[in-house]
Each structure stands twice: as structure tokens, then as C-alpha cells.
Amino acid sequence: MTTVQTLPTTTTRVPPAPKRGIRLTPAALIWPAMLYLILTTQVPFFMTVYYSFFRYNLVDPTSRPFIGFGNYVTLLSDPQNLRILLNTVVLAGGTLILTLIIGAALALLLNREFLGRALLRTLLISSFLVMPIVTAVIWKNMLLSPTSGFFAWVSQNFGQAPVDWLGQFPMFSVILMITWEWTPFAALILLTGLQSLPDDQIEAARLDGASPWQEFQHIVLPHWMQAIQVVVLMETIALLQVYGEIYGSTSGGPGIATTNLPYFIYQKAFAEYNIGLASAAGVLTVILTNILAVYLLRLINRTTASNRGG
Amino acid sequence: MTTVPTSGPASRTVGDRHRLRNILLTLLTYLLALAFLFPLIWMIMAAFKTEAQAFATPPVFFFTPIWDNFQRALPSYLPALTNSLVAAVGSTLLAFVLGLPAAFALAVYPTRRAQGVLTWMLSTKFMPAVGVIVPLFLLFRNLGLLDTRLGLILMYTTMNLPLVVWMMHSYMSEIPFAIYEAAKVDGASVAQEFFGIALPLSMPGIAATALLALIFAWNEVFFALNLTSADAAPLSVFIGEFKTSQGLFWAQLSAAATLVVLPVLIFGWIAQRQLVRGLSFGAVK
């Protein structure tokens, strides 16, 4: 199977063209999907860019003056909005770092032989499969609630006053909640990465007298980079878009403490009907996502390259 | 680091120390796993409690399970369930109708341009929903698609189409090329190659991809909340309505939430390995 796999790239493929009626060409097979994606992602995005240059509120749809970069200036000059930008990055970055650390630990722990390992591996994916809004309402009401939440009872047992998690440490609590959701993803991708490491490489290193740390640093880590790269990229894209968790737990509050860009856009567009401003914020989110994704990819590629060299 | 079994000269004490360390690490693994499962266990337990038990401090760990909460949640759950099922299944089908031929063409006729098309499709995932929601909302309003199942199906298809193309491309590239060659010699058309070879041979991949697409559509929140209100509201909107309950109906909320997440959990557990591959777009196998 694997030997034949290389064939498609090496053979020059000229599809035979017997002429009989309508023929399906490869291009004809690809276009419907491409067209659909163009119509539902690229076109609306350009419309978002277009709207972002207007003062446009659905409450007064008749007056729609062109104001150039006015919406962007409004967005970027208000210190409150910079806080929202910062929230977006802190939430995504904090969660990413935590899920990577805990996920790596879990992956290393699960990459050993022990009783019940397959079962734990299977069960572990659970919190990733839970609908984000279920996560939010369950955590908010049953775990984090200062009056009857489980965590309040735990801290009371340790003689501490119950903590109003979402009130006092809103960002931390939201990060904790989303970390709970995304750690299984990181753990399972990282575990798959670990398991694809050939045993003979480790054995060779051991024969050469490598210490466990050297073994990890020079063999496991470089091999792990691809999996880490996947986790970082997929999580960055997903975490910058976190919405349901915030909607269901804090509604962006207290104040704007947990408002990120997606939640802010939702408020502007669907509560204030400020289409122009929401569009500008949408464009900024797209730019931010792309910059971070590309930058992180480069960063990881460079680390991988230097590890390979060293 | 934690990779253990050494092949060195194992004196007895070293062996014992390793065994002890192994046991401790296993215990730690179980503890961590339990910590991650706890919120779910707690939720499912509460679904079988009375409201007073669910709300009690100190928490009630032992109780006689009751079914009332499920019965009470059911009337409002069922319409939302129908909407979720229609939106998830409909969008998965549409994504396959559009995505399977594309994946097939990209896998069997891999040109330089095909690679570009694949990358471009993945890059549409870099587009946050908030970057498109405003014009789509206005468009849906004008076309009368707001609060319809069709509207949800269209959006979820956008969300899942790149996934379907990528995963199915990865599966279809693994079909030995000699099979296609043989078919071509016998004079098979592109359509015959697609329906006769590619589809039947990639059935396991289709199953795994469909599962992932269904789960994503089932769990989606942003489009659901902003493009539906009453008639087409799926399960995510149904659960969202509990967000203001402020500890009033914990048992009922838990029952509703259990009904919402249980199907996904069961399917996810069954197909865990394929899910991991799909979630990383086949990049890590």
C-alpha cells in the first residue's frame, strides 16, 4: 500500500479524452466546492470590508454616509476597545499555553503501558466534545457559583471563604473553563505525535548513553514539533473566535473584563445594530487571526529548523 | 522524561524504584483524568437529583436517582433536537455532495494547482465567523432565510466543507493508484472511477469525516444564536436559554444538558482515533 502511494505524484497524468457526450473533468468536480466557499466566505468578507467604511446603523438604514477609516479610528482610539483587543489575545494565548503544558503532561503520562490506558484515552476526549454553551452554563452555575457551586464548597472545606470566581477573577475563570475544553484536543494530538516516534531512535539514543533529558530534548521534542504546530495553529484559529463560552457564562462582564472581539462584534451588530462599527471590528479580527496564525507558524518552523540543526 | 522501561543493568533496588515510580505516575494519570471528567460526572449526577439535592451545600453524593428532570426537559428539547438534527445532517450531506468530488479530483489529479486549491480551502478556516456574519445576516434577512433550517444548513456547510475536502483528500490519496490505472485501461470514465473505485474504497474515511462534521454542526453556537430565534433554534440556543436560570433549575438544566451532549459523547468515544486524525486535518497520524 505504502509503496504505491508515491505513484500519483511521479506519473504525469493526462486524462484520456474519449469524446462522448458530457464529460466530467477534474476542474468541473472542484468548482462547485470552490464556488460555494467563495460565495460564503470571500464575498461576504469583502462586503464586511465595504460596510466598515460607512456609518451604517440598522436603526436608521436610510442614512449611510461614507466615512472612510472613521470606524477604525473610533475602534482603535477608544482605550476600552484596546482592552477588548488585549482580552482577545490574553484569552487565546493563556488558554493555548495552559492546554499545551497540561496536554503535553497528559500525553507523556498516557504514552506508557498501564492498566486502563485505552479507556482513559477514550474518555479523555469528552470535554472537547461537549457543546461550548453547555460547558459555560454548567461551569457558571454548578461549579463556579459562589453560593452553591462545587468549588465554593471545596474552599469552605479548607476553611476559606467561598470565592466569587466569575465576579472576582473573570478572565482567569473563563481561561480555566476553556482550558478544560481544549486540553483533551492538545493531549490527544500530542499523544498521536509521540506514538509515531519510532522506538529504534530512542533505543539508539539510550545505547549512546543519552540522559532522559537529552533524549527528550534531541529526539522526542524535534519529532513532536509537527504535532505541537498543529495544536498551536488549530487552537489559535479556534480560540480567537471563542464566543459561546463567554455568551453562556459572563456575557462579556463584569464590565468588559471578558469581552473579546467576537463577543464585542455580536454586541455591536445584534444589540446596537451598528453595522459599520461591527464590520470594522470583524475586519480587524480577520487580520489579527491571520497575522497570529502566520507568525506562529513561522516561529514554530524556525524552532524546528534550529532543533534539527543542533 | 517519563518514558521509563530501562534496559540498563537493573539492580534490585533500581527495579523497585522504577516500579514504584510507575505506580505513582499511573495514579497521577488517573487523578488528572478524573479531574477532567468531574464536571461531566457532576452534571450527569445532578440530572438524576431533585432540585433541592442538586442545589444543596454540602453537595449530595449519594441519592436515589429520579427521571422527572428528563421528562420535564423533554417538551422543549424535542423541537430543538429536530432542528439540530436537520441542520447537522443536512449540512453534512451538502458538504459531502460538494466536497467529495472535489476531494476526489484533487487526490487523483494532483497538479501544482491542486495543491494551491487545497491550501486555499484550508485558509478559509482562517476566516473568523465574525468576519462574515454582518453581510450574511443582512443577506439572510433580505432572502427570508433568518430563523430557517435552510439558513443554518447553508452556514454549517461553509464551516464543514474545507474539513470534508481535506479529510477525504487525505483518505482518497491512500487508494493505490494502480487501481485507477487498471480502470483507465479498461476505459473507465472519471465518473466511473469516482463512483466505482474512490467512493467504495474510502467508506471508512467517509464515516469518520461525517461524524466530525455532524459533531461540529451539532455543537455550533455563533451562527445558531445570531441567525435563528424561535422556529429554527437548535439545541445550542435551547441550552443558552438556561444561562439566566442562576441556580434555580440545576437538576432540570443538567438533564437538558445531558440530553444534548450524550449523543456526541457516545459517538465521539466510539470513533476517537479517527476523530484525532480528522481534527488535525490528517497532519498527525
A210 touches chain B (CB under 8 A): no
Cell numbers linked to A310? 543542533
**Inter-chain residue contact B268 with A1, CB threshold 8 Å:** no
Residue whose C-alpha cell reads 474545507 in the numeric block: B162
Q: Please tell me the predicted confidence (pLDDT) of residue B62.
A: 85
Q: Closest to A125 (Cβ–Cβ): which among B117, B130, B272?
A: B272
How confident is the model at residue A309, as a pLDDT?
Answer: 46
- Decide if pLDDT at A255 tops 90: no
Say what the pLDDT of residue A127 is. Answer: 92
Q: Which residues in A lie closer than 8 A to residue B223 (C-beta atoms)?
A: none
- A204 touching B (Cβ < 8 Å): no
Of B28, B102, B261, Cβ closest to residue A30: B102
Better-predicted residue by pLDDT, A252 or A93 = A93
The tens digit of pLDDT for each residue in A113-148 reads 888 889 999 999 999 999 999 999 889 888 888 877
Torsion, Cα A217 A219 A222 A226, to 10 degrees, reads -130
Mean pLDDT, chain A, as a whole number? 84
Q: Is the pLDDT of residue A173 over 90?
A: yes
Residues 167-186 of B with CB under 8 A from A: 173-174, 176-178, 184
**A310 pLDDT tier (thresholds 50, 70, 90):** very low
B256 in the Ramachandran plot: left (φ > 0), alpha (ψ -120 to 50) or beta?
alpha
Report pLDDT digits (tens) over A45-86.
999 999 899 888 888 878 888 888 888 998 888 888 889 999
Q: What is the pLDDT of residue B285?
A: 62
Please, which pLDDT band fits residue A172 given cuts at 50, 70 and 90? Answer: very high
**ipTM for the complex shown:** 0.85
Please state, in angstroms and rounded to a whole number, the distance separating the CA atoms of residues A83 and B88.
Answer: 36
Task: State how far residue A92 is from chain B, nearest Cα, in angstroms.
Answer: 14
Query: pLDDT above 90 covers what percent of chain A?
Result: 35
Kindly state whether B21 is in contact with chain A, defined as any CB-CB distance less than 8 angstroms: no
Which is nearest to A249 in space by CA: A138, A147, A87, A169?
A138
Q: Residue A10 has what pLDDT? A: 42
Confidence of residue A6 (pLDDT cuts 50, 70, 90): very low
Interface check A24 vs B, CB under 8 A: yes
CB–CB of B226/A266 below 8 Å? yes
CA gap A160, A77 in Å, rounded: 42
Which mean pLDDT values do the consecutive 10-residue runs of chain B (285 residues) have? 48 74 91 92 91 79 86 88 94 96 88 83 82 89 92 93 90 87 85 86 89 91 90 89 69 90 91 80 67
- Residue B60 vs residues A165, A196, A232, A254, B36: alpha-carbon distances, Å: 22, 44, 40, 31, 20
Instruction: Identify which of B108, B134, B161 has the shortest CB distance to residue A36.
Output: B161
